Structure 1
Amino acid sequence: MLRSDASELYQAQLSRFRKSSGEADALVAMEGATLGVPLVACAFEYSFMDGTMGEVAGEKFVQAANVALDRHIPLVCFSASGGARVQEGFLALIQMAKTAAVLERMKQQGIPYISVITDLVYGEVSASLAMLGDLNIAEPDARSGASYPEVIQQVELEGLPDGFQGSQFLLERGAVDMILDRRQLRERIAHILAKFAGRDQPGRAEENSHP
């Protein structure tokens, strides 16, 4: 775990994580294509303060979604997060409303959002964002929930089900749509997005061009 030292000033933490991770914040976003299928992709960088979702990360996600809207291409987000930054208080928590609003605009325009849940995705804001996909994909050993199991168990004062918050648990309860190994993600996502867009499946045009 990369949890920050509570005794360290927040600005000092940000500076240290920027230097150690080489990133400006916990979310990396880009526009490109996979197997010829155009998309906007973003990913939480766990080495930056456990991938916690602060004001900048939330705003960067909204900007990525707006690019997807402008280009009318899909958005794919790979989540790995310890939650919201308590140091930013209300500013971090309101990101849920902003991200939900831009994803609703995408839905209204028929632009798909695919969420990929890695290990681990915790916190009300980050976990909710990871569950808002038109298609939610989890890696085999992923875990996701509003809070860590030990915290929930302390509140509930009773044991939790086996595999609680794990991929199979989420699949059986309809929170995720499929479980995919990381090595399968690129090809499967490209084929799914091509189907969403009514495009030729990746590789099909090349295959059909040969006798």
Structure 2
Amino acid sequence: MFDGATWIDVPVPVVATDPLRFRDSKRYLDRLKEARARTGLQDAIKIGFGRVDGLSMTLAVHEPEFLLGSLGTAAGEAFIRGADTALEKRTPYVVFTASRGARMQEGILSLMQMPRTTIAVRRLREAKLPYVVVLTNPTTGGVTASYAMLGDVHMAEPGALIGFAGPRVIEQTIREQLPDGFQRAEYLRDHGMIDMVVHRHDLRATLARLCGLLMRSPALENEPGVAVREIPTRTEAELQLIEDPSPNRT
């Protein structure tokens, strides 16, 4: 995503490894150790800072290979650190989600990350900084029920599964067959739950253009050693949106 593939790691806080010490804590600790060895990460979310098409940006990326990208205390702290970095550096905050939901081995402490991350998103909104979510396959459970669906703009990759409970659970609950493509990115776009479906090859250009518009920064300041990118001509609709950013506009 970043220009020149230059990813600047943002350190994340160290948290208790097994805060609740459940009866199966040894098994949980073994799974954490295995996930860290396999992915090279300390937990399920990685935070980075850099430039995308010349625009400074803070990214948070879920690693689905780390315990299914589940949201625990460490992942919650990482998300909040990413929001703090965006606030400090005055950048858009873009989050790539890929998660099966809350990490139940951490019980209530895992669920508490839902309101904590929601507060972090509210702070971004109060600072008038863009918060954009890119939903990848799958995005479900407590992640969907919190920061994944609080973006100023929601993108999704083609065919991504997005929802709270899975289709099988819903069918068993309501005892009805679900429509074709239910909870897939294209279905949610057509029914107004997300804004756009963007192929991975087009994500970088789309995010750069969108965040530039939301930041109202049509040109990069001429900084030493930084090439100024050519800005595409804005459409009439974009110019009207800048002049009148009212939330009542459709």
Corresponding residue of 1:204:
230
Whether the 8 Å CA contact 2:135–2:160 is kept in 1: the answer is yes
Alignment of 1:1-211 (within 5 A): 9-200=27-218, 203-204=229-230
SS in 2 for 1:144: coil
TM-score by length of 2: 0.76
List alignment gaps of at least 5 residues for structure 1: 1-5, 207-211
Whether the 8 Å CA contact 2:94–2:132 is kept in 1: the answer is yes
Which whole-Å CA distance do the structure 1 matches of 2:173 and 2:45 have between them? 31
SS in 2 for 1:114: strand
> For residue 197 of structure 2, what is the amino acid of its counterpart?
I
Whether the 8 Å CA contact 1:127–1:144 is kept in 2: the answer is no
Which whole-Å CA distance do the structure 2 matches of 1:127 and 1:185 have between them? 24
Which whole-Å CA distance do the structure 1 matches of 2:231 and 2:27 have between them? 56
Change (3 A) 1:8 1:126: farther
Which whole-Å CA distance do the structure 1 matches of 2:39 and 2:142 have between them? 24
**Larger strand percent:** 1
Change (3 A) 1:8 1:151: farther
Change (3 A) 1:7 1:110: closer
SS in 2 for 1:33: strand
SS in 2 for 1:77: strand
Shift of 1:119: 0.8
Shift of 1:33: 1.1
Q: Number of residues paired by the alignment?
A: 202
Shift of 1:203: 2.7
Whether the 8 Å CA contact 2:101–2:142 is kept in 1: the answer is yes
Larger Rg belongs to: 2
SS in 2 for 1:89: helix
Which whole-Å CA distance do the structure 1 matches of 2:231 and 2:154 have between them? 28
The Cα offsets for residues 140-193 of structure 1, whole Å up to 9 and x where unpaired, read as 111111111111212222211211110111112221111100000001100111
> For residue 105 of structure 2, what is the amino acid of its counterpart?
Q
Which whole-Å CA distance do the structure 2 matches of 1:112 and 1:130 have between them? 14
Which whole-Å CA distance do the structure 2 matches of 1:125 and 1:84 have between them? 7
Which whole-Å CA distance do the structure 1 matches of 2:199 and 2:99 have between them? 19
Whether the 8 Å CA contact 2:121–2:147 is kept in 1: the answer is no
Whether the 8 Å CA contact 1:25–1:56 is kept in 2: the answer is yes
Change (3 A) 1:205 1:165: closer
Which whole-Å CA distance do the structure 2 matches of 1:50 and 1:125 have between them? 12
List alignment gaps of at least 5 residues for structure 2: 1-23, 220-227, 233-250
TM-score by length of 1: 0.90
Which whole-Å CA distance do the structure 2 matches of 1:8 and 1:172 have between them? 45
Which whole-Å CA distance do the structure 2 matches of 1:67 and 1:18 have between them? 24
SS in 2 for 1:143: coil
> For residue 187 of structure 1, what is the amino acid of its counterpart?
A
User: How high is the sequence identity, in percent, across the aligned residues?
Assistant: 37
Which whole-Å CA distance do the structure 1 matches of 2:26 and 2:165 have between them? 23
